[in-house]
Amino acid sequence: MGGAVAVAAPARTRTGLTVVVETGDDGLALLDDRWDDLVARQPLPNPLLTAAWLRELARWRTGLPLVVAAESDGTLVAGAALELRRPGGRLGPTVATWLGPVEQIISADMLGDECLPSAAEAVAAAVLDEAHLLSIGAPVEGVAARALAAVAPWRRATTTAERWIVSCAPAGLEHARKRAAYELRWATRRGAEVEVRVARKPDDVAAALMRLFRLNRVRWRDRADETPRFATTHAHRVWNRRAVAALAELGRARIAEVVEDERTVAGCLGFVHGHGGLGHTQGMRLGGTLREPGQVALLAIVDALAEAGAVAVDFAYGSGGAGGPKHRLRSTGDPIAMIVAARSARRQRPYETMRRLRNATRRSLRP
């Protein structure tokens, strides 16, 4: 981080709500069972917004953790897990953004109670009290986008991508099942022994994760632009082992694998929390008898997460367009916006100009 950020942490009362603002270890202490219960009450719970994963994100130490929670009658009704940075150094503005490095952020959002939108608005307002600028990517129709539209109408929201949501309803997956079954029969008729496995227990997940690392590196080794978000660096592999293990111990991690002639040819990592699933990372090895091992693994992880209680799976960005593997699972696009909100309308334009200049300078310095 460019400079240290110190923040006071009082409890604030707003129209019947108690809003608690904490930083550092005190902030991480707010990530408890009540937090996970609030995640489970979201329209589509994101397992990567649960306490165990957020604590692991804080280990990257890319900023000072900032956790804001709103309570009503002892129940947690809204929250935001962010971090504070000073990218311009000690004299620059304080920026609030998602915890951890950007390549680890998958469909993040604030948390809120649909029956009490004022709670999320109070959380958003409290964040802007602590930071000069809030800069996050979030679903266009999500909690953060709606809350910031209410408390910071001067914010700028630019749609940048789509996340892809797959329903676990059997009828929607019928075509994908028929196609996967045909491919498996086709490979078997040509002499291949193909098996689909799902790792559920912590030790099994840990072993499958090591195989997925290898598949992922093989799949993307020729991609010069591949972001080292999963297996391409030692630091990311170490962190992912620890973070996946944390969710596996809670029964929230699954890895689907496709094995051809005793060799793993595809794998897909997924998580579940409540009725929400998330497809995290896929890897595959092409050139075997089975023509579409990755597609079989995708379907298997959807089935595994559905078995664990998910009604839909967020497959995040990419490959959801026509002809893509997620499209074949009848995924639905959900726009993601880059949201930049200053503390006040007067400061919005100068901060945006400063950010554009800094980003342009960084791009010009890249090799």
Instruction: Report the Cα 189 to chain-centroid distance in Å.
Output: 40
Q: What is the pLDDT along the chain (367 residues), one digit of tens a residue?
A: 444 343 444 456 556 899 999 999 999 999 999 999 999 999 999 999 999 999 999 999 999 999 999 999 999 999 999 999 998 788 789 999 999 998 899 999 999 999 999 999 999 999 999 999 999 999 999 999 999 999 999 999 999 999 999 999 988 899 899 999 999 999 999 999 999 999 999 999 999 999 999 998 887 776 665 665 788 889 999 999 999 999 999 999 999 999 999 999 999 999 999 999 999 999 999 889 999 999 999 999 999 999 999 999 999 987 767 777 888 899 999 999 999 999 999 999 988 888 777 777 767 776 6
Residues 51/38, Cβ–Cβ less than 8 Å: no
Retrieve residue 285's tokens.
């090895």
CB 123 within 8 A of CB 19: yes
Last residue of a domain, one of 310, 325, 350: 310
Phi first, then psi: give them for residue 279, nearest 5 degrees.
-90, 115
List the structure tokens of 131: 């930071």
Could you tell me if residue 6 is inside a domain? Answer: no
Please check whether residues 153 and 183 belong to one and the same domain. Answer: no
64 touches 23 (CB < 8 A): yes
| 57 and 150, same domain (yes or no) | yes
Maximum C-alpha span of the chain: 70
Task: Say which residues have a Cβ less than 8 Å from residue 301's Cβ, sequence separation at least 6.
Answer: 198, 254, 255, 256, 268, 269, 270, 279, 313
**Is 329 domain-assigned?**
no
Which pairs from 203-209 meet CB under 8 Å and 24+ separation? 204/255, 205/244, 205/245, 205/248, 205/253, 205/254, 205/255, 206/241, 206/244, 206/245, 206/248, 208/255, 208/257, 208/267, 209/240, 209/241, 209/244, 209/255, 209/269
> Do 118 and 137 sit in the same domain of this protein?
yes
| Half-sphere CA count of 281, side-chain side, radius 13 A | 27
Number of domains into which the chain is organized: 2
Nearest to 107 by CA among 152, 43, 62, 34: 43
346 and 290 within one domain = no
Tell me whether residue 213 is in a domain: yes
Indicate whether 300 and 238 sit together in one domain.
yes
Half-sphere exposure of 265 (CA within 13 A, CB side): 23
Residues 145 and 175 in one domain: no
Beta-carbon-side half-sphere exposure of residue 149 (alpha carbons within 13 Å): 13
Q: Which of 134, 168, 138 is nearest to 335 (CA)?
A: 138
Q: Based on the fold, state whether residues 303 and 230 are members of the same structural domain.
A: yes
Which of 349, 278, 354 minimizes the C-alpha distance to 311?
278
In one-letter notation, the amino acid at residue 252 is R
- CA torsion sign, 274 to 278 to 281 to 283? positive
The two structure tokens encoding residue 201: 């227990």
Residue 197 lies in a domain: yes
The domain boundary, picked from 294, 310, 326, lies at 310
Instruction: Dump the DSSP string for 64-81.
Output: EEEEEEEEETTEEEEEEE
Rounded to two decimals, what is the model's pTM? Answer: 0.91
Per the structure block, which two tokens stand in for 219?
Answer: 């799949």
Best CA proximity match to 80, nearest among 145, 167, 16: 145
Region of residue 299 (phi > 0: left; psi between -120 and 50: alpha; otherwise: beta): alpha
CATH number at residue 211: 3.40.630.30
DSSP 8-state secondary structure symbol assigned to residue 241: H
Assess contact for 38 and 46: CB atoms under 8 A.
Answer: no
**Do 353 and 301 fall into the same domain?**
no
Please tell me whether residues 235 and 267 are part of one structural domain.
Answer: yes
**CA 197 from centroid of its chain's CA atoms:** 25
Domain coverage including residue 91: 11-159+336-365
In this structure, the answer to whether residues 271 and 290 fall within a common structural domain is: yes
The tokens of 174 are what? 């019928």
Tell me what pLDDT residue 218 has: 81
